[in-house]
Structure 1
Amino acid sequence: MNERTETRGQKAAAFAARVAVALVFVINVQCAVLYVVHPEAYVAGFELPGEEGVIAVRGLGVAFLMWNATYPAVIANPQRFRALYVMVLVQQVIGVVGESWIRLTLPANHAALAATINRFITFDAAGLILMTATFIILKRMSRSKKEDR
């Protein structure tokens, strides 16, 4: 088999990886843009009052955009940028673990903040599962391609 020839399964695995990473990327960027453009709509969920809250939420939006800078290359070619794909997964693990730790240490009298953090944990855990599953499938398909040679 020619090295440039991909099997149907390998193409499907790469497509699934692109879709998984793109889905998480689009939702993350949409959230980031809303935080940057309309932070006042989200300050209550973070229990942050006034202008300081607006600035903090806007800053969180900028951080989200920075976090997602690695995704486009993976979406473009998950096989070629496998190391970057691993970095995306590591970032996602850091998010889930960090958010979970924050949630576990949050005092009981912060219902709005707890609900916001719970949404982050749920989304980031789902994204981690989806992207990890497609990464594993892609890796297995690449390994089978090498074994076929």
Structure 2
Amino acid sequence: MGVIVLQLFAVPEGKSGPQVIDILTKRVTSLGGVLSGSFMVDCETYTSVASLGATRSVHLLHNSETPASVFALLEAASGNKTVALVADNLFDLLMLKLSNFYQAKKQTKIESRGPRFEAGDFLVKLGSVTMGPAFKGILVEVGKRKENAYPTA
């Protein structure tokens, strides 16, 4: 696992989200970045039903870079701890089976999607963050690309 920096990028006054993504895309390509596809990360929140006592949340995250996995953040009973979980994509079906205990929050699915670039040893992702139809901001992710474990001669 490499080092990754995730930064919220402020949208300047008078500019829209797509305009800023376009400006950042031009900057990355001028620095030698090569478009290598697109990405999408989403998060859906489930809350426990009132009959279970204290309300707890489960946040499910999906990442197009790891399509066979689901990441979850579960609030522990004490409320001051969070448990991280990685499961296969059947975990989504399990959450449907647990609908008597956990309900999906309405209109809270948030996602970040956009282009990804390779620039030298780095991977750069420019994401437009939306909640439903509403634009919420821009995320810039920069990470060190994984190197091959077996060098080629």
Q: TM-score, normalising length from structure 2?
A: 0.22
Bigger share in helix: 1
Bigger share in strand: 2
Q: TM-score, normalising length from structure 1?
A: 0.22
